[in-house]
Amino acid sequence: MTFSVSPTHAGLEPLSQAFGDYLKAINPYPGLTTVECSERSGKLLLLAEHPAPEVENPNDLLRELEAAFRDLVPTVGLPEADWAMVDQLPVRIYLKVKRTADPYAIHTFTWQPGDAAQLLFPLAEPMAEQTPPVQPQDATPAATPSSPGITGAPTAAPPAPDGVTPSSEPVTGEDTGDRSEPGPLYLGPSPHESTPFPDAALAFPDTAVEPPDPNPWTQRGQYWRHQSWQFLKDYWSYGLAALILLGSGAFAYALTRPCVVGSCDRIDKAASFYDVAQVSLTISPTSEDLVTAQADLQAAIDLLASIPSWSGYYDAAQPNLQHYRASLASLDAVLQAQSLAGQAAALSQDPPHPVERWVKIHQLWRQATNWLDSVPADSPVFDYAQQKLSEYRSNYNAIGRRIIAEEEAEANFNTALQTGDLARQRMDTANSLAGWQLAAKEWQAAIKGLTLIPRGTMVYQEAQAQLQDYRQQLSRAENRSTLEETGARGYDQAVQAARQAAAYEAQGQWTLAVTYWQRAVAQTQQIPADTLLAEEGEILLATYQPALSNAQKRLRSAVALQKLTATIGELCAGSATPCAVRESPSQVQVTLSSQYAEPLRQAITPPAADGTFAFTNQLSPEAQQLIEAMTTTSHQINQQIAIYDAHGGFVARYRPDLGGFIKN
């Protein structure tokens, strides 16, 4: 960005012209003949240009230009209209190589109009006579590297003008603005002298010693100071020095400052502004009242702050000025608190907000309460500050609770998400009823965490969406858990029934055995097909169904044998020989008394082609009934029935597969 300085202010033309004459007469640096003066944002800007190259160590040159400024301003003055109410003036000097865009060195310092007033009124406080320091005869100045393009300087400082002691303070090169000022020009007679302007007062050397090349900057500075005295002598040597001095801008500035000449009504006016501000602050002030009071207090302060230190009313104005400033500081604290409260309220609009935003709002309310806490009890705005302090603390505490609610909601939400992820893993890996039950419990815990999130928090809407999904997952887990529980219960009951059926079989209680085998089969069939025990149930069913069929067969056999036994028992009831029925694994053995066995043996017919035979019709009705009972039982139980006599002799065998009796 190209550097530019505003055109020279109309009131600064005399200062620019004086700088031009000064540079031509002194020539502190080859080609440094232009200084443009301008004003920007309350600062005085001085732009000095010179041909290339840049000065290697420009600090000394900048300090010499500062010293020239301090010497020239009392003789030339500044435009009063621009700085009439200023206690101090920032001045900035730029060094720039010609035909370049930007400066390469900047020096800033502060000039106070009071400095010019002290120069104009040196008799106000007589200064002690200064004794020039005694330099050793063999002392020689330390040599420092010279900058490029700078001609040599003398090896010894030129003699100082009469009444002026050359400064021996070395230049540090630091741009701080806080440094020893050059000694004031001798503008009038000493209190000890009787003549107003003796010749010695303006006695300057007529000629300057041409410095040899090269020379250190510190010695060159002393030479320039000597040359500046010679220049000022020429500048004042027209015989109008007194007229120029008395008509200078600095003199006019010093005299026209408030309360310097004549009476001073500023103290009373400031008190009036303060009283008006007091009234605005004590009766339930509104925001507009506070702003109005601030303007009144600032007006009171401005009236007193512009009274210079050389005014006779300065000391009288200081207590009121300090009191007004303290009142303004308290009011500023209240306004600052209100500003922070407004920011906090604006940030709080349209909730919910993230925790980070609530924390920022919380901090703003805390800062607002801190500002109100700083208002002292003797301030006129203290009562109003206390009222607002109670309100702001309430808001601060409410936001604190909101932060806690948001943090708890976020924590519950994150915990619910973690629990939901764990529940999904349980469902994906569940291989037992306990696994599905645990998954259901995890979903229940996740849902409970989501239900704890209050309405109005940042994560509430997202929690509601998750809650709907989690409830569906819980329903799925609970349904599957119910199915698994049903399957497990059916499996356990089937196993128990089968065990009981087997026990009844061992006891020959086929009716109970059939009942429990039927129960075992039924429980196995109730195991859901898509459960973990469904496959195990199929295996059990393949075992239990044949067992049931066998038990049913054995039950039928037992019933048939029981009937056969009853029939034979009735027939043989009056016989002396026993009649009995006995079952073996391969057949049923019937033992008849002699009265039935012999007639049956004799009634056997010759065998047919298939080897079977029949009994003749000469059998008695009782024997015929016996033969029918045995053949019927044989078919019912699908077993052979062998007939023996009372002595164990074989009579005949009925085979149901052949449908007849055989003799072997």
Residues in Cβ contact with 520 at an 8 Å cutoff, skipping those fewer than 6 apart: 494, 495, 497, 498, 501, 540, 544, 547, 548
The closest of 329, 319, 328 to 277, measured between CA atoms, is 328
Query: Are the beta carbons of 420 and 474 closer than 8 angstroms?
Result: no
What average pLDDT does the segment 290-313 reach? 92
Question: Mind listing the pLDDT tens digit for each residue in 438-475?
Answer: 999 999 999 999 999 999 999 999 999 999 999 999 99
CA distance 180 to 562: 142
Say if CB 580 and CB 590 are below 8 A apart.
Answer: yes
Nearest CA among 543, 641, 632, 638 for reference residue 600: 641
pLDDT at position 392 over 70: yes
Residues 6+ apart with CB under 8 A from 54: 95, 97, 104, 105
DSSP state of 183: P
Residues 170, 179 contacting (CB under 8 angstroms): no
Q: What CATH number matches the domain at 488-555, 1.10.1220, 3.30.200, 1.20.58, 3.40.1000?
A: 1.20.58
- What pLDDT band is residue 116 in, cutting at 50, 70 and 90? low
Mean pLDDT of the chain: 77
Residue with tokens 């399957």: 487
pLDDT digits (tens, 9 = 90+) for 536-560: 999 999 999 999 999 998 888 888 8
Strand order in the sheet with 34-40: 34-40, 43-50, 89-97, 105-111
Would you state the structure tokens that stand for residue 619, as one six-digit string?
């059998």
Q: What is the pTM of this model?
A: 0.46
Lowest-confidence pick of 72-76, 189-193, 251-255, 611-615: 189-193
Q: Are 367 and 343 in contact (CB under 8 A)?
A: no
Q: Higher pLDDT residue, 295 or 210?
A: 295
Residue 418 · residue 443 · CB < 8 Å: no
- CA neighbor of 565 nearest in space, from 626, 512, 511, 649: 626
What's the pLDDT at 254?
64
Residue 583 has pLDDT above 70, yes or no: yes
Average pLDDT over residues 511-525: 93
Dihedrals phi, psi of 224, to nearest 5 degrees: -65, -40
Banded model confidence at residue 126, pLDDT cuts 50, 70, 90: very low
pLDDT of residue 405: 93
- Our CA angle for 294, 297, 300, nearest 5°, is 150
User: Which token pair is 266?
Assistant: 């500023």
Cβ-proximal residues to 15 (8 Å cutoff; 6+ apart), any chain: 37, 72, 73, 76, 77, 78
- Lowest-pLDDT range, 131-135, 407-411, 451-455, 561-565? 131-135
Give the model's confidence band at 661: pLDDT under 50 very low, under 70 low, under 90 confident, else very high: confident
What are the residue ranges of CATH 1.20.58 in the chain?
488-555
pLDDT at 513: 93
Mean predicted confidence (pLDDT) in 485-497: 92
The tokens for 604 are 């056997």
pLDDT band at 305 (very low <50, low <70, confident <90, very high): very high
Q: Average the pLDDT over each of 96-110, 248-262, 314-328, 579-593 and give the range with the smallest value.
A: 248-262
Q: What is the pLDDT of residues 68-83, one digit of tens each?
A: 888 887 767 676 544 5
